Amino acid sequence: MWQTMLIVGIVFIILEIFTPVMFFLNLAFAAFITAIVSVYIHSFNAIILTFVGLSFVMLFILRPILMNLVTNKSQKTGIQDKYIGKVVKVITPITKSTGAITIYGERWEARIESDEEIPEGSEVKIIRNESLVMFVEKV
């Protein structure tokens, strides 16, 4: 019976590869654990109950943890921690369409959302970025 559960686990892994939704991966883990348990327990009903129980546990406990890990890694770009919220110096007057700032010795294109102009030498705070352009506001 353990061979059957091992094959079921492998099938769930293959399904997860083609539909990466972190659903079949949990069922695969449950199948692999059930395969280990089925080496010692030979009752078909007990094995099925073990698989169903472990599937629910994996889906309600492990899946949220896995989803959190995946979404946290994909959202962090490094820009948030390193640049956003920092006060920097203007090296070229900033308007809606032109301007530049310097931070950590790097030159970045900068823009302001309002119609005013920020003169060279002023200090501004970085509020967000779009690609290689930092959007700033007066301090």
Question: What would the mean pLDDT of 44-72 be, rounded to a whole number?
Answer: 86
Q: Which of 72, 61, 126 is nearest to 100 (CA)?
A: 126
Residue 70 has pLDDT above 80, yes or no: no
Which range (12-21, 31-40, 92-101) has the least confidence? 12-21
Question: What would the mean pLDDT of 41-61 be, rounded to a whole number?
Answer: 91
**Distance (Å, whole) CA 130 – CA 109:** 10
Q: Which of 67, 56, 60 is nearest to 33 (CA)?
A: 56
**Distance (Å, whole) CA 2 – CA 35:** 4
CATH numeric code, 79-138: 2.40.50.140
Boundaries of every domain in the chain: 2-75, 79-138
- In tens, the pLDDT along 71-96 reads 665 455 566 667 888 999 999 999 99
Question: What would the mean pLDDT of 59-75 be, rounded to a whole number?
Answer: 75
Residue 101 has pLDDT above 90, yes or no: yes
Q: Report whether 129 contacts 120 (CB < 8 A).
A: no
Give the Cβ contact number of residue 121 at 10 Å: 9
Q: Which of 72, 78, 63 is nearest to 23 (CA)?
A: 63
Q: In this structure, what token pair is assigned to residue 93?
A: 């007057």
pLDDT at 108: 92
pTM score above 0.95:
no
Transcribe 14-81 into DSSP letters. HHHHHS-SSSHHHHHHHHHHHHHHHHH---HHHHHHHHHHHHHHIIIIIHHHHHHHHHHHHH--SHHH
- In tens, the pLDDT along 108-136 reads 999 998 888 999 999 999 998 887 899 99
Find all residues with CB under 8 Å of 9, minimum gap 6, and list them.
28, 29, 31, 32, 35
pLDDT at 74: 47
Residue 21 has pLDDT above 70, yes or no: yes
